[in-house]
Structure 1
């Protein structure tokens, strides 16, 4: 990778006009609406009384697939999504115009044979009021770019979960087409659609977007911790530990009792943790 260029690289601000139909499409990409009798699910996929899923802040003003720019010299086929966090400062509107302000925070060198960790941040602003709606932090694992140095402060890694049985569990089934629906919300990385590109990256078939798995966890958090009210979710942080394959059932395991709720996601079919070290913070219900 071109480390010198990355230190001064700045993505152009991304303006995003979106309508309620895009908010619904995002929710459909998380499997909302799978139960036609569930009023809680309907609130995210029906225009009357529509609510936005807070994790949509991950896809609003998405910069597109920029990691393959030749001048950056990143081995983009080997790039994996490692961690993601978002903090909600004000409720995400169901439609409007938003501005994404991007910056690369750090590159942490893990060694020539171990790759590098790149952390970047998006500040999401309402275009008209200039109010900060969300801060989104993304961490990428550059598997083919270790041993070339680094810069910036990567910060602390998410803490491990308790070694205990979960206090609550929610299962969410996914359909085989889920990645093909989810990618329409902005992440067009071909590893999620093309079998040949997936094989080049070391997978026998396309994998699900990490952010889609995070969105599934967001579904579970809203249902389990927020009483179906997305405005109560203030913060989420996750680590993507293993790839998910479309069609798998995702089991979200909750650990309660502290200032924040911890959680992980497991593939039921493979009995494998696919999203780990999750943290969610929610506000108290309105009086």
Structure 2
């Protein structure tokens, strides 16, 4: 089912109204493993409605994650969903996300790249409420078997890897039922719950959602480097480098980089992350991962 690149990129953006409440935010945070210890003031920022702060990665599931769904239904895009892999994700926020809200989310196909054996569809979604822009998210989706059409290969530059020991290392345990809880935020792919489906996909058991690992790593960095202040995050991007299974442990290595200057008491900077699976000899999970912050 070939992709009509010109038609897909030229198509009118798809807009939809999305809404969320504090319950959606709390469920998302619990799906990332928040709330342990349950009475820890740092964890209550993610779980108690009277103190609720919203991780920027919530943008990937707000409204049930309709941004990606809307993009894949664009004219010119007719692909087998079984051939689609989530290759990368980024989110840029313009102000702290409200714990409850309604917004208009507009999605479009920003680009289609030819990687030879696969095509990469870049889906861009922008959300705004009555007070203005909230976030821009971008997903890179690999579609196996759809490359070789002679198109642009796309950018290949990647962030440089730090050549020193990390400033912080955090281990994040993944509960056995965590994928079952996380999928309630909108990703119902049976790959993350049904053992038979997972075996058909080549895995001996269900895997954790990549966007769950994405959110867990952000929370670990916010809590470790940014003093728990989610409002300091301005952008967050990653490349999905491998899978992780419920019951395993993520090792999150963090490198701080300061830009100097900036507004407020902190100044601007970034945190580079490398996320691996401890029990499988630190097999890569997230790579080329960068948090931009104030």
Number of aligned residue pairs: 278
The Cα shift of 1:269 comes to 0.9
Q: CA, structure 1 residues 78+200, in 2 after alignment: closer, same or farther (shift >3 Å)? A: farther
Looking at structure 1, the residues matched to 151 and 200 of structure 2 have their Cα atoms a distance apart, in angstroms, of: 27
The equivalent of 1:191 in structure 2 is 191
Query: Match for residue 271 of structure 2?
Result: 261
Gaps of 5+ in 1: none
Matched, 1:98 2:100: no
Query: CA offsets, 1:186-242, max 9 Å, x none?
Result: 222222222233223222222111111110011112112210111111111111100
Runs of at least 5 residues in structure 2 that lack an aligned partner in the other structure:
260-269
Change (3 A) 1:32 1:274: same
- Asked if the contact 2:14–2:74 (Cα under 8 Å) also holds between the matched residues in 1, the reply is no
The separation in 2 between residues aligned to 1:180 and 1:78, in whole angstroms, is: 23
Matches within 5 A, 1:67-86: 67=72, 72-86=77-91
Q: Distance in 1 between matches of 2:151 and 2:98?
A: 37
Q: Secondary structure at the match of 1:176?
A: coil
1:144 match: 145
Does residue 175 in structure 1 map to residue 185 in structure 2?
no
Cα-to-partner distance string for 1:3-30 (whole Å, 9 max, x where unaligned): 2253345563221221111110010010
Show CA shifts across 1:138-164 (max 9, x none): 11111232223446x844543241243
In 1: Cα distance, 2:27 partner to 2:158 partner: 30
For residues 184 and 91 of structure 1, what CA distance do their matches in structure 2 show?
A: 23
Alignment-derived partner of residue 122 in structure 1: 125
Cα contact 1:83–1:138 (8 A) shared by 2:
yes
Bigger proportion of residues as helix: 2
TM-aligned CA distance change 1:2 to 1:143, over 3 Å = closer
TM-score of the pair, normalised by structure 2? 0.87
Structure 2: distance between partners of 1:170 and 1:78:
33
CA distance in 1, matches of 2:210, 2:48: 25
Correspondence 1:244 to 2:257: no
CA distances 1:28-66 after superposition (whole Å, capped 9, x unpaired)? 010000212321111111111111111101111322756
- Of residues 65-74 and 254-263 in structure 1, the stretch that sits farther from structure 2 once superposed is 65-74
SS in 1 for 2:24: helix
Hey, what does 1:16 align to over in structure 2? 18
Q: Residue 121 and residue 157 in structure 1: after superposition, are their counterparts in 2 closer, same or farther (change >3 A)?
A: farther
> How large is the Cα RMSD of the aligned pairs?
2.2
Aligned to 1:232: 232
**Residue 280 (structure 1) aligns with:** 291
Task: Check 1:14–1:142 CA distance in 2 against 1; reply closer, same or farther (3 A cut).
Answer: same
Residue 204 of structure 1 aligns to a residue whose secondary structure is coil
Q: Which one is further off, 49-58 or 198-207? A: 198-207
